[in-house]
């Protein structure tokens, strides 16, 4: 692996990453309008793709390996270590339960939708290799329960091709926006739904306040001390060593034949993601990384952007195909997700806003969940943020379970 020989590709990736980070932070002008229609992640993916497909640079295989095996795990550690667990535990019981029911609906909904569509199109269940539809669906699963980190993680664990990944990415963007529009529009008729769910159209919006978030905004930016960098380095080294050990051990005992539903245990990428997330959770309980939360957030997100751009280098646009199956399966998937949420909320007598916020916290993450929450009442914003963070926390575990279910229904 000689990255120096691929320096033009490295420059393209670094330049695109810096450009998207800079432009996505703009509050006025052209770029905010652009990103309303073209998500930053899609631009990160497509700009390097254009560079390779027009012959400006060659695909940087070494860069991609570096990004996936070193940069992605480090990013996951940072972004998980800054999560504040006590805040998550303050979420109201019904809101938390509805959110978790929604997570279950997504985990089982995708494999069940694939199985249902497969009854009419058996080929979907018989596909093998990196272009099998279920590998693209598990990438969408990763996006819906853990955003970009989950999407990238599931791509690596289950080996979706670059072309399939772009198809799933495009499908994900369309389905997410349709779903967000539906949830925002539901504000107009949520009182009627609440009469059925709870027996009352009125709702008490006495929620946890957002004082801690406001304090965080006022905190002076502090650079992490040497102790934190040492802790991060030791944690990262443990993740690398343990991942290699586990992957080698399972590869010897189980083998790497993909027809074996347990073969994913022999992939180093699985253990890198699992250990990165788990060690990040452990660090989050120490509160060591909270004082410099904006530094770690910036670094973690910047690394994720870089990883996405390196994936774009590998894509051959001539092989990209629009797959209508993704939209059919995705639509059924969302209906299953909604049905599970409605049943759970009816049993708990939970109001519609818990369904809307919990669903978007899973599918869209903290930012869009807070938007949906604010559409119902300003005091619900903190609930949307906390549930969105919780989705990031449990995402990789839920997505790995979903991946196993996909293999089960196609096996």
pLDDT digits 0-9 by tens, 72-83: 888 888 887 887
Task: Provide the terminal-to-terminal Cα distance of the chain, rounded to the nearest Å.
Answer: 35
pLDDT of res. 342: 94
What pLDDT, on the 0 to 100 scale, is given for residue 341? 94
Whether pTM exceeds 0.95: no
* Residue 189 DSSP code: G
Residue 204's pLDDT is: 52
Nearest to 408 by CA among 112, 157, 30, 151: 112
Residues 139/169, Cβ–Cβ less than 8 Å: yes
**CA angle at residue 370 from 367 to 375, to 5 degrees?**
135
Higher pLDDT, 234 or 248: 234
Q: What was the pLDDT predicted at 124? A: 86
Confidence tier at 129 by pLDDT (50, 70, 90): confident
Hunting for tokens 């399972």 — which residue is that?
A: 250
Q: Give the pLDDT mean for 272-292.
A: 83
Q: Which two tokens stand for residue 398?
A: 């839920």
Give 331-338 contacts, CB < 8 A, sequence gap 24+.
Answer: 331/175, 332/109, 332/113, 332/116, 332/117, 333/106, 333/109, 333/110, 333/112, 333/113, 334/109, 334/175, 334/179, 336/105, 336/108, 336/109, 336/112, 336/113, 337/102, 337/105, 337/106, 337/109, 338/105
Smallest Cα–Cα separation from 306: which of 14, 80, 52?
14
pLDDT(37) > 80: no
pLDDT in tens, 136-165: 899 999 888 877 777 877 888 888 888 888
Condensed to tens digits (0 to 9), the pLDDT of residues 68-113 reads: 788 888 888 888 788 776 666 666 678 889 999 999 999 999 999 9
For 149, residues 6+ apart whose C-beta sits below 8 A from its C-beta are 72, 75, 76, 79, 142, 304, 392, 395, 396
**Would the pLDDT of 333 be above 90?**
yes
Q: Residue 339: what pLDDT?
A: 95
Residue 258, pLDDT > 60, answer no
pLDDT of amino acid 162: 81
């Amino acid at each position: 692996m000689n990255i120096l020989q691929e320096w033009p590709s490295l420059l393209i990736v670094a330049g695109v990453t810096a450009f998207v980070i800079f432009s996505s932070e703009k509050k006025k002008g052209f770029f905010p309008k652009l990103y309303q229609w073209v998500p930053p992640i899609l631009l990160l993916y497509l700009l390097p793709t254009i560079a390779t497909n027009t012959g400006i640079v060659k695909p940087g295989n070494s860069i991609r390996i570096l990004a996936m095996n070193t940069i992605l795990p480090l990013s996951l550690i940072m972004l998980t270590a800054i999560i504040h667990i006590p805040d998550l535990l303050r979420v109201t019981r019904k809101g938390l339960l509805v959110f978790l029911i929604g997570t279950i609906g997504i985990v089982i909904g995708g494999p069940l939708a694939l199985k249902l569509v497969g009854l009419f199109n058996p080929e979907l269940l018989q596909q093998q290799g990196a272009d099998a539809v279920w590998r693209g669906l598990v990438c969408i699963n990763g996006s819906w329960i853990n955003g970009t980190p989950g999407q990238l993680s599931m791509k690596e664990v289950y080996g979706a091709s670059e072309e399939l990944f772009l198809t799933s990415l495009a499908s994900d963007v369309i389905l997410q926006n349709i779903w967000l529009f539906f949830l925002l529009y539901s504000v107009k008729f949520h009182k009627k739904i609440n009469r059925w769910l709870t027996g009352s159209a009125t709702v008490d919006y006495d929620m946890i306040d957002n004082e801690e978030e406001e304090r965080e905004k006022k905190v002076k930016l502090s650079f992490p001390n040497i102790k934190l960098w040492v802790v991060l380095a030791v944690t990262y080294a443990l993740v690398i060593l343990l991942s290699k050990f586990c992957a080698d051990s399972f590869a010897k005992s189980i083998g790497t034949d993909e027809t074996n539903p347990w073969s994913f245990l022999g992939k180093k990428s699985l253990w890198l993601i699992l250990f990165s997330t788990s060690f990040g959770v452990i660090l989050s309980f120490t509160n060591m990384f909270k004082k410099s939360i904006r530094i770690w957030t910036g670094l973690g997100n910047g690394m994720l952007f870089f990883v996405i751009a390196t994936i774009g280098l590998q894509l051959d646009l001539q092989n990209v195909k629009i797959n209508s199956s993704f939209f059919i399966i995705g639509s059924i998937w969302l209906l299953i997700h909604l049905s599970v949420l409605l049943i759970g909320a009816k049993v708990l007598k939970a109001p519609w806003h818990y369904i809307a916020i919990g669903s978007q916290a899973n599918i869209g993450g903290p930012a869009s969940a807070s938007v949906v929450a604010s559409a119902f009442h300003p005091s619900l914003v903190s609930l949307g943020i906390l549930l969105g963070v919780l989705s990031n926390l449990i995402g990789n575990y839920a997505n790995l379970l979903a991946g196993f279910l996909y293999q089960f229904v196609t096996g």
